[in-house]
Chain A
Amino acid sequence: MALAAKFRTCPDTGLKVHSQAEALIKANAVLGIIFLAVGGLFGLLVALTRWPAVHLLPDELFYLILTGHGANVLLFWIIFFEIAVLYFASAVLLNCRLAMPKIAWLGFLLMVVGAITANVSVLQGESTVMFTSYPPLKAQPHFYLGLILFAVGALVGCFIFFATLVIAKQEKTYEGSVPLVTFGAITAAIIAVFTIASGAVILIPTWLWSMGLIANVDPVLYKVVWWAMGHSSQQINVSAHVAIWYLIAALLLGAKPLSEKVSRFAFLLYILFLQLASAHHLLVEPGISSEWKIFNTSYAMYLAVLGSMIHGLSIPGAVEAAQRRRGFTNGTFEWLRKAPWGNPAFAGMFLSLVLFGFLGGITGVVLGTEQINLIMHNTLYVPGHFHATVVAGTTLAFMAVTYLVVPLIFRRQIILPGLAKWQPYLFGIGVAGISLFMMGAGTLGVPRRHWDITFTDAAIAVDMPGTAFLMMGLNGLFALLAATGGLLYILIVVGSVLFGEKRTEAVAKANPVIFDASTVKSYGSEEHPKLSGTYVLVAIFFVAFVLYYYVNWKFLSEVWPLS
C-alpha cells in the first residue's frame, strides 16, 4: 500500500498531500454540505412556523420537519465534515498517507447509507419522534437502523484516523510531537469514540424494541445513555472547531499558540471531563441524586470550562501576537481593527470564537447549573443556547475553514469573492439573533418543540406574554438572515468547486491564500508578548459571565419554593 500511495506537493504550504486522503476529504466535505443544505432548509421551515404571523407548516408536518432538522444538522452535516477534518489533520498535516483508504471508503459508504435511510424514514412520516427519539415514542425500525449504520461508519472514520497516526509515527513523517491542530483533532476523535459507542449501546436495543424483539426500554436509562451520545457529539464539535480556530489563525496570520503546553493541557481537560456535561439534560429527571447531577453537570468542578477559558485567552492572544509582530502595535486594539476582516475565513473564525464564548459558553454553564435548570429546562432557551454553540460556533467555524479548503484541497479559486466577504457576517449575525431571541423567549416560558404557543385549540386557555410573540417574530426574521447567509455559502462553495478557476501553480502563486509560506516552517510557542487587547477582551468576558450567572440565581430565587 505504501508503495502505491500517490502524493502531490501543495504549492501553498509545501505539505505532501496523499491523493486518497484528498479524495476522502473532498467526499466527506461535500456530503456534509449536502446535509447542511437539507437540514438548514428544514430549520428555516421550523423558524417560519414558529413565527406567529407566518405559522407556515401544519402541525404534523412541523413535527416531522423538526425531527429531520435535528438529525441532518446535528449529526449528519457535522460528523461528515468532522471526518474530513480528521483526515486532514492526520494525513495532510502529518505529511503521511492515509491508513487503509478502502476501509475509509467503506466507512463513508455506511455513513451515506445510514444518513439516507434515517432521512427516508423521517420523511415517510412514521418516525416523528424528534432527534432524541425518547421511548416509548416509537419510530420505524429503519430510523434507528439508519442512525446505527451512520454511527458505525463514523467509528470506522475514527479508526482510520488513529491508524494514520500510527503510520505517521512509524514512517517518521514528522519530528517531535504532532501539531497542535492535530492534537485538537485527536481530542475530537477520542470524544467521538465515546459518543458513537454510547449511541450504539442505546440505539441497538431501541432498534430491537421497535421491531418487537425486546419488551421495553426504560425511559430514564435511555436518556442517561442516549445523552452520552447526544451531548457528547456536540463536544466533538467543540474540540473540532477549537482546532479549526487554531488552524485558521495559523494559516492566515502565521499565529503560533502562546504556549503549546497550556493549549494541549486545555485539550486534555476536554478529553477527561467535557463529556460529563451530558448530564445537562438530566437535571430535572426523577430519582437521580444531586451528587451525580452536580458532579457531572459541572464537568467535574468546571474543569472542562477551564479548558475553554484557556482557549479563550490563547486563541485571541495568538492572533494579537501575530498581528503585533506584523507591525500593528499601536494602542490596545490596532491589531484587531487591522485584522483581515474582509477575508471570510478570518471573519468567520473570529465571529465564531466571540459568539461561541459569549452567547454559547456562558449560557451553557448557566443552563447546566443544577437548580437554574429548573427555570429553563426544555424551554426555547435550550435551542437558543445550542444554536449559539453548534451553529454560531461550530457551523460558522466549518464554513470559515471551507474558504481555505476549497483553494487548498479542491484547488479552485473562490467564485464571487465580493459576496463571500459578506457571507460570514450575514450568517453570524443571523444566528446570533436566532440564539438571543430563542433564549429570550425561553426565559418567558416558551416551550421548545411546540407548534402553537397561542394554544388556540387547547381545552384550557394559556396567555403567553406579548413579548414572547415579539421574540418569536424576531427569531423568524433573523432565521431568514441566517438562511440567506447559509444559502450564499452553499452557492459559493458548490459554484467554486464546480466552476471556480483551477488553481494551478501559477494561479496559486498570484493569489496566495495563506500567510507568507516561509514562516510555515517555524514552530514553537510565542515568546510571552504583551497582549493588552486580549486581556481587555477576556476581562469583559469574565465580567459578563459572572453578572449573567448571578442574575439567573436571582430569577430562580423568586419562583415557588421547592424541596
Chain B
Amino acid sequence: MAGKSKEQGGDENVPFMQQLLDNPFILLFLGVASPTLLYIVWGVIEVAQIPIAQ
C-alpha cells in the first residue's frame, strides 16, 4: 500500500492512506459516489421493480 509519490515534498514515502486523506477531491468523489450508488441508484432500481397489480 505504500505510496510511491514524493509530491508531499519529502524524501520519505507518504503512505497511501495518508495521501488519500490529504486529498479532499478524491474524498469528495468517494463521498458522493458511495451514497449515490449504494443508496440512491440501488433504491431507485428497487422502486422501479415494484410490479403492477394484476
Interface residues of A (CB under 8 A from B): 162, 165, 177-178, 183, 186-187, 189-191, 193-194, 197-198, 218, 220-221, 224-225, 228, 232, 261, 264-265, 268, 271-273, 275-276, 278-279, 282, 286-289, 292, 295-296, 300
Contact = CB atoms under 8 A, between A and B. Distances in A.
Interface string B13-54: 000011011101101101110111011101110110110000
A502 B41 CA distance: 53
A61 to B, nearest CB: 35
B47 A194 contact: no
Nearest to B20: A268
B43 A197 contact: no
B39 A193 contact: no
8 contacts: A162-B25, A189-B28, A190-B32, A191-B31, A265-B21, A268-B21, A276-B39, A292-B46
A278 B35 contact: yes
B35 A218 contact: no
Contacts of A288: 43, 46-47
Closest 3 CB pairs of A and B: A190-B31, A275-B35, A287-B50
A202 B33 CA distance: 17
Interface of B: 17-18, 20-22, 24-25, 27-28, 30-32, 34-36, 38-40, 42-44, 46-47, 49-50
B38 A295 contact: yes
Contact of B24 (A165, A228, A276, A292): A165
A300 B35 CA distance: 10
A276 B18 CA distance: 25
B35 A162 contact: no
B17 to A, nearest CB: 8
Given A221-B44, A286-B50, A289-B46, 12 more contacts: A177-B21, A190-B32, A191-B31, A193-B28, A194-B36, A221-B47, A228-B40, A265-B17, A272-B30, A275-B35, A292-B46, A296-B39
A224 B28 contact: no
Contact of A224 (B31, B47, B49): B47
Nearest to B50: A287
Contact of B40 (A187, A225, A265): A225
Contact of B32 (A177, A194, A268, A273): A194
Report which residue of B18, B39, B50 has the largest number of chain A beta carbons within 10 angstroms of its beta carbon: B39
A224 B40 contact: yes
A276 B35 contact: yes
Contacts of A273: 34
Contacts of A221: 44, 47
Contacts of B42: 292, 296
Contacts of B32: 190, 193-194, 197
Contacts of B47: 218, 220-221, 224, 287-288
A228 B35 contact: yes
Nearest to B32: A194
B36 to A, nearest CB: 7
B38 A287 contact: no
A162 B40 CA distance: 24
Report which residue of B20, B25, B30, B40 has the largest number of chain A beta carbons within 10 angstroms of its beta carbon: B40
B22 to A, nearest CB: 5
Contacts of A295: 38
Contacts of B27: 186-187, 190, 268, 271
A218 B17 CA distance: 42
A165 B32 CA distance: 18
B18 A177 contact: yes
B21 A224 contact: no
Nearest to A300: B38
Report which residue of A183, A198, A275 has the largest number of chain B beta carbons within 10 angstroms of its beta carbon: A275
